[in-house]
Amino acid sequence: MTDTTTTTDADRALKAKHRAMWAQGDYAAIASDIIPSLGVALVDALDITRGQYVLDIAAGTGNAAIPAAERGATVTASDLTPELLDIGQHLAQQRGVTLDWRVADAEALPFDSGSFDTVMSCLGVMFAPHHQLTANELARVCRSGGSIGLIDWTPEGFIGQMFATMKPYAPPPPPGAQPPPLWGNEDHVRSLLEGQVTDLRAERRVVRVDRFHSPEEFVDYFKSHYGPTISVYTFIGEDAEKAAALDADLRALVTRFSAGTGSTTVDWEYLLVTAKRN
């Protein structure tokens, strides 16, 4: 691996904070109960087959990595949060597939350049704070002619707007950190990968979520299951008035996105990107 970054105390503290955030709650339940189709959609888009060497960056509990292994690929699943990898390894064992689970920072991957035929991330790299560093690593570890694939929430879609809703209640981001939903903006992704890939294709899609029967149920679920939401409420602390205001804003968001459906069914928009490494 060629490391062109300089790790500072601030970097280490930020990464430790990110690890702790994603270790909270129950992201495995969100991945398996609400959005299980997204990992398969990414594997399908990349046409992953037997014999390929695949890296899933910020793999979480293996939502895309495990389906890739089920296609016969040799898969490495990396993530900053070891607790998520432990869950993923257990899930993979239940499904009868073997993967290489590696703790790794998306901004400084411990893999040699050109090591993989396919490099992918399903709702993962978008949360690494420094987008260009992450994009450079995505491209670096992919062999020439190999494939890169990403699924990320769009800024305008439901989850992107959920982050916008929580922003006024959250602590200010550290200097240099960029908003995760920018990875769901096609122009932004093209600029990050410019000169490193060819045949970049981007498509907006939606995943329909009908898991929740009321806005209140959605808010309660995300307050107990989703690390970023838990972190915002933790930051609010004992300020009951502010917590109630965020509750109301999140309920209003669900209502706005489900307007006209006659239910709380919501389409969560994401951007699917595929490209070829130069």
Ordered domains of the chain (ranges, CATH): 9-207+267-277 (3.40.50.150)
Q: Are 181 and 159 in contact (CB under 8 A)?
A: yes
Note down pLDDT in tens along the chain; length 278 residues: 344 445 688 888 999 999 999 999 999 999 999 999 999 999 999 999 999 999 999 999 999 999 999 999 999 999 999 999 999 999 999 999 999 999 999 999 999 999 999 999 999 999 999 999 999 999 999 999 999 999 999 999 999 999 999 999 999 999 899 999 999 999 999 999 999 999 999 999 999 999 999 999 999 999 999 999 999 999 999 999 999 999 999 999 999 999 867 778 999 999 999 999 99
Name the strands in the sheet holding 197-209, side by side, starting at the edge strand that comes first in the sequence: 100-103, 74-79, 53-56, 116-122, 142-153, 266-277, 197-209
* pTM (two decimals): 0.95
Vertex 149: Cα angle to 192 and 164 (nearest 5) = 60
Compute the distance between CA of residue 13 and CA of residue 175 in angstroms, rounded to an integer.
13
Compute the distance between CA of residue 122 and CA of residue 103 in angstroms, rounded to an integer.
17
* Helix (H) or strand (E) run with residue 70 in it: helix 65-70
